[in-house]
Homo-oligomer: A and B are copies of this chain.
Amino acid sequence: MVAAPRSGCPINAAVEAFGDRWSLLVLRDIMFGGRRHFRELQAGSEEGIASNILADRLKRLVHDGLLTRDEAGPGQKATYSLTEQAIQLVPVFAQLGSWGVRHRPTTPALRVRAELLERGGPKMWADFMDELRETHLGIARPTGRRRSVTEQLANAYRTAAAVSAT
């Protein structure tokens, strides 16, 4: 999707699309943190991304088809949305999160989302993807919905953050 890929291997393709120290974190904040604007992403970043790096990554992700950018005039609030490609990274995030929780030190507040997604399994991932499609692509999701996964994730995070603050 960009320049000449180093090989035709699907793993390499994934690495070339978001195999650096920031791209996945930006996608994570948009996907799980509900952040849609430049300043939200920069200020709210747990890891403290620099604005030039963020600008570069957003540009690259848009170019590679993982994000779309909705203009609102220059100097105005531009909104970034996930594409279907990016939404289909939900299972990847779930597995990466499970691995991170199992094998690396993590803080309770930031861990709960990964744990929830792991317990929920592929069904919950699919529900979450449907919700993302609604939020980011404007595709109405099937009727008769159970409790919103997005809300569950947000609530779990809030609760854990409150507990760890005490």
The CA of A99 and the CA of B25, in the complex, are separated in Å by: 18
- Contact in complex: B105, A13 (CB < 8 Å): yes
B residues less than 8 Å from A8 (CB atoms): 105-107, 109-111
**A33 CB to nearest B CB, Å:** 11
A102 to B106, CA, bound (A): 31
CB distance from A101 to the nearest CB of B (A): 5
Q: Are A9 and B46 in contact, with the CB atoms below 8 A?
A: yes
CB-based nearest B residue for A46: B7
How big is the A interface, by class? 35 or more
Binds B, one of A51-59, A86-94, A140-148: A86-94
Determine the main DSSP class of A at the interface with B: helix
Task: Give A residues with C-beta under 8 Å from B.
Answer: 1, 5-17, 19-21, 24-25, 28, 46-48, 65, 85, 88-89, 91-107, 109-111, 114
B6 touching A15 by the CB < 8 A rule? no
Which among A7, A14, A94, A100 has the greatest number of chain B C-beta atoms within 10 A?
A: A14
From B11, B47, B99, B107, contact of A14 by CB (8 A): B99
Closest chain-B Cβ to A25's Cβ sits at a distance in Å of: 6
